[in-house]
Structure 1
Amino acid sequence: MAGMMEGEPLIAGIELGGTKCIATLAQGRVILQQRRWPTGTPDTLNLISDALAQWAEQTPFAAIGIASFGPLHLDARAPNFGHMGNTPKPGWAGCDIYGHFARRFDVPIAIDTDVAGAALAEGMWGASQDCAVHAYATIGTGVGLGVVVNGQAVHGHLHPEAGHMRIRRQPGDQFAGACPSHGDCLEGLVGGPGLAARLPMPVAEMADDDPHWDQIAGDIAEWTTMLILALSPERLVMGGGVIQARPKLLPLIARQSARLLNRYIEALDAHALEQLIVAPGLGADAGPLGAILLGQQAAMARGDG
């Protein structure tokens, strides 16, 4: 295949998002091919695996990395490893994502959340390089958080589901929230369905001086302040459709976070927080490259990389 580099294994990556799915073929961080689909029913997995099979016929890949929306069961010892948890996305709860690809492809496979993959990729190649503790947050269809400590994504009983944390509400805000499980958790307030219900127009059409941005930034800043106090990250990368639609939201979030911290952490004034809360260094490729990096790790663990 043209453009292939000596010494680097060919990796297939699958990013499963709440709105779209992306299959990527790459060497290192160099993307060679990509395919995209809307995230429909779990039958979307058949379309993705068919595309991977076509790529494999041309040039076999060494491993597959899967970076998926969640919640996911990630305990490799458990019988439901690689299955989707109790997601509100219709039809996906309980779906055996890992097993779908493991049954079809005889290569090493790694699976993690989409935000954990993006966090790992930002630590390897993007805005969080040389950070021991860092995180990647997505504000889009849903709200998610991937946390990395010393190069490893944080897992425990499950994995971080910080998008469902409840925050202090803005004065006078009576919106009930759109999360089917928690109502006015952060995802219920600033995730795609919440913003669609509470805003007069799509975020991409709102003017920079629309007062709703201050409210959205205030909600997110309540969350980022808690994350800073709880995790002490050296970098908090924020991506997702809402941030992509309005990059100027990040300085607003940093300023409001500084106000909420109220000089408790002396070094984190508004300027310092603008260096801590940043856009993805990898841009829109953070998610796809996160899946690729997971695949690279699977290949190395098997001894193929």
Structure 2
Amino acid sequence: MYGAIEAGGTKFVCAIGNEDLKIIEQESFPTTDPEETMHLVEKFFKKHQNNIESIGVGSFGPIDVDKSSETYGYITSTPKKAWAYFDFVGSLKKRIDRPIAWTTDVNAAAYGEFINSYRQENLNVVYYTIGTGVGGGAIQNGEFIQGFSHPEMGHMKVVSHPEDSFKGNCPFHDNCLEGMAAGPAIEQRNGKKGQEIPVEDPFWDIEAYYIAQSAYNTTLMLSPDVIIFGGGVMKQEHLIEKVRKEFLNLINDYVKTPDIKEYIVTPKLGQNAGTVGCLALAKKLVTKK
């Protein structure tokens, strides 16, 4: 059996899965402060401790993924003040002494989709989550693309829509993807949450324009085989088609991509992509397969 922790900024999802990466038991709870939240994590896994080989963690960030760093396994400069520079891996290891695979939450979701849906074709995959925040992860030849740190695709600059005067709500950058298109930006701009905005509202064309820019930038930088858009905002089923349309306008036939309906897609695993990815990373850590 393997353990999974999808550590989101809003909620934690803990799970146990088997060799086939099937979720056997799953529990979620709000992300509060580290002491309270990690106590609930420990409580969930303690009852399975004798059966767990390893645990995969996909965490909100930024996080330190450099194994040579003194702060490897830490959440670093997060705006969630209680979690800033928290030793996540160290704290978990003290509570549950098992090998721990450590990556970002969006990397974990990307890996879940890759393992479940695309590995047989050995595709290069980019995954974006558009939700409370925006993050991106990329897999090439079965491995995450990263260097001194993990990608922060959610903070790429975007060009404002001609009919949008909103300047973004990111505390670090004006006109970045997260500040313009994440859930809080939608609510701040419209005075209500995305799920309360009618399908026919012209705002969705503006939202699609920003998301399509991330697909445009990704296409020209990485030329992946597939770009997956997940997260709560993408639960608006009409949105993916708008993103495809805007992307085609932006790319303007400059490069030939795979068929658009197979190139820009939503997750096949839905909201379980991150959990399955964490299970897969936990398995990979101890089996090296």
Q: What TM-score, normalized to structure 2? A: 0.95
* Cα-to-partner distance string for 1:6-26 (whole Å, 9 max, x where unaligned): xxxx00100001211100000
Aligned to 1:91: 82
Q: Structure 2: which amino acid aligns with 1:35?
A: E
Residue 155 (structure 1) aligned to one of 130, 146, 151 = 146
Give every structure 1 segment of 4 or more consecutive aligned residues whose post-TM-superposition deviation is greater than 6 Å.
Answer: none
In the alignment of these two chains, the number of paired residues is 287
After the TM superposition, which of the residue ranges 235-244 and 290-299 deviates more from structure 2?
290-299
* Cα-to-partner distance string for 1:78-133 (whole Å, 9 max, x where unaligned): 11001012111231110111111112222211100111111111111025652431
Shift of 1:219: 1.0
Aligned to 1:36: 28
Q: Is the 1:128–1:134 contact (alpha carbons within 8 Å) kept by the matching residues of 2?
A: no
Aligned to 1:261: 251
Q: Structure 1: which amino acid aligns with 2:42?
A: S
Q: Is the 2:115–2:277 contact (alpha carbons within 8 Å) kept by the matching residues of 1?
A: no
Q: Please give the alpha-carbon distance, in whole angstroms, between the structure 1 residues aligned to 2:237 and 2:150.
A: 27
* Cα-to-partner distance string for 1:202-250 (whole Å, 9 max, x where unaligned): 1112221111100000111112101111110101111000001x02101
Q: Is the 1:22–1:36 contact (alpha carbons within 8 Å) kept by the matching residues of 2?
A: yes
Q: 1:131 to 1:256 in 2, by over 3 A?
A: farther
Residue 276 (structure 1) aligned to one of 260, 263, 280 = 263
Q: 1:177 to 1:32 in 2, by over 3 A?
A: same
Q: Please give the alpha-carbon distance, in whole angstroms, between the structure 2 residues aligned to 1:60 and 1:216.
A: 45
Residue 237 (structure 2) aligned to one of 220, 234, 247 = 247
Q: 1:131 to 1:170 in 2, by over 3 A?
A: farther
The 5 A counterparts of 1:199-278 are 199-244=190-235, 246-267=236-257, 272-278=259-265
Q: Does 1:50 align with 2:37?
A: no
Q: Is the 1:41–1:90 contact (alpha carbons within 8 Å) kept by the matching residues of 2?
A: no
| Percent identity between the two aligned chains | 35
SS for the counterpart of 1:286 is: helix
Q: Does 1:174 align with 2:165?
A: yes
Shift of 1:201: 2.1
Q: Please give the alpha-carbon distance, in whole angstroms, between the structure 1 residues aligned to 2:243 and 2:203.
A: 13
- Aligned CA RMSD, in angstroms, stands at 1.5
SS for the counterpart of 1:160 is: coil
The 5 A counterparts of 1:119-138 are 119-126=110-117, 129-138=120-129
Q: 1:150 to 1:267 in 2, by over 3 A?
A: closer
Q: Is the 2:2–2:52 contact (alpha carbons within 8 Å) kept by the matching residues of 1?
A: yes
Q: Is the 1:127–1:281 contact (alpha carbons within 8 Å) kept by the matching residues of 2?
A: no
SS for the counterpart of 1:216 is: helix
Residue 53 (structure 2) aligned to one of 62, 80, 87 = 62
Q: Does 1:295 align with 2:286?
A: no
Q: 1:67 to 1:188 in 2, by over 3 A?
A: same
Q: Please give the alpha-carbon distance, in whole angstroms, between the structure 2 residues aligned to 1:266 and 1:15.
A: 35
Q: Is the 1:12–1:292 contact (alpha carbons within 8 Å) kept by the matching residues of 2?
A: yes
* Cα-to-partner distance string for 1:261-301 (whole Å, 9 max, x where unaligned): 00101345xxx222111111111110111111111112224
Q: Structure 1: which amino acid aligns with 2:47?
A: Q
Q: Is the 2:164–2:206 contact (alpha carbons within 8 Å) kept by the matching residues of 1?
A: no
Q: Please give the alpha-carbon distance, in whole angstroms, between the structure 2 residues aligned to 1:195 and 1:213.
A: 10
Aligned to 1:191: 182
5+ long unaligned stretches in structure 2 = none
Q: Please give the alpha-carbon distance, in whole angstroms, between the structure 1 residues aligned to 2:91 and 2:120.
A: 33
SS for the counterpart of 1:157 is: coil
* Cα-to-partner distance string for 1:53-96 (whole Å, 9 max, x where unaligned): 1222xx42100110111111001111100101211123111011
Q: Is the 2:177–2:214 contact (alpha carbons within 8 Å) kept by the matching residues of 1?
A: yes
Q: Is the 2:123–2:141 contact (alpha carbons within 8 Å) kept by the matching residues of 1?
A: yes
Q: What TM-score, normalized to structure 1? A: 0.90
Shift of 1:137: 0.6
Q: Is the 2:183–2:194 contact (alpha carbons within 8 Å) kept by the matching residues of 1?
A: no
Q: Please give the alpha-carbon distance, in whole angstroms, between the structure 2 residues aligned to 1:204 and 1:131.
A: 35
Q: Is the 1:63–1:299 contact (alpha carbons within 8 Å) kept by the matching residues of 2?
A: yes
